[in-house]
Amino acid sequence: MQQSQDQSDPKTELSAFLILTAVVAPLLAIAIVGGYGFMVWISQILTGPPGV
Q: Tens digit of pLDDT for each residue in 1-52?
A: 555 566 779 999 999 999 999 999 999 999 999 999 999 999 999 999 988 7
Rg of the chain on CA atoms, in Å: 21
Residue 44 lies in a domain: yes
**CA 16 to chain centroid:** 15
Residue 6 lies in a domain: no
Q: Is the Cα dihedral 41, 46, 47, 52 positive or negative?
A: positive
Residue type for position 46:
L
Its domain, for residue 40, covers 28-52
Residue 4 lies in a domain: no
Task: Give the pTM.
Answer: 0.71
> Structural domain tally of the chain?
1
Compute the distance between CA of residue 14 and CA of residue 22 in angstroms, rounded to an integer: 12
Residue 48 lies in a domain: yes
Residue 38 lies in a domain: yes
Residue type for position 5:
Q
Residue 51 lies in a domain: yes
Residue 32 lies in a domain: yes
